[in-house]
Structure formats: structure tokens, C-alpha cells
Amino acid sequence: MSTTDAKTTETTGWDAVRDLPPSAKLVAKALEYNDRLTQSQLAEETLLPPRTVRYALSRLEEEDAVDSRFSFTDARKRVYCLAIE
């Protein structure tokens, strides 16, 4: 298989999010409009329960659609940002 074939079978960008649950799509859209958010901020922004936000973030992380890092203001929290274009 050539490298061009590998690129066509690999899903990138919003194509990777297309097959995810609606909650993951909503979280991705919230991150698109707001540059960086914590889990609690995402729950507040999307009106989803915190457990659903955690599940959506785990699905988005599996697809490499979000990046996360520790918060500078509170090291117990993680800040999420969208990694797709």
C-alpha cells in the first residue's frame, strides 16, 4: 500500500468526529467556539451532565480530535482544546 492509499483510508479532521455520538459532536462544537475549556466549563456550556462530558471527551481523545493539558491556575483540572481543523 502506498502512502497516498494510507492517507485516503485514514480519517482526519471533522471526518473523525462524524461517526461519534451527538454528545461528542456537541463538545467538539463548544470547543470550536471557545478556545479552551475545562470539563466543568464544558458541562456548563453544553448543558450536558458531567459524566456525559467525560465520555464525550474520552471518545474525542480516542480520535485525536482534542488536546488536553493541566490548568495553570489549578493543577487538579485539565484544559481541553480542539485539535482538528
**What is the tens place of the pLDDT at every residue in 40-51?**
999 999 999 999
Arithmetic mean of pLDDT, 29-46: 94
Q: Cβ distance 78 to 39 under 8 Å?
A: yes
> Which residues, other chains included, contact 11 with Cβ-Cβ below 8 Å and sequence gap of 6+?
18, 63
Arithmetic mean of pLDDT, 53-76: 92
Position 14 scores a pLDDT of 83
Domain of 30? 3-82
* Number of domains the chain contains: 1
Query: Which CATH number characterizes residue 50's domain?
Result: 1.10.10.10
The closest alpha carbon to 46, from 29, 21, 32, belongs to 29
pLDDT over 50 at 8, yes or no: no
pLDDT over 90 at 1, yes or no: no
Q: pLDDT-based confidence at 4, cuts 50/70/90?
A: very low
Q: Starting from the edge strand earliest in sequence, which strands make up the sheet with 66-70, in order?
A: 36-38, 78-82, 66-70
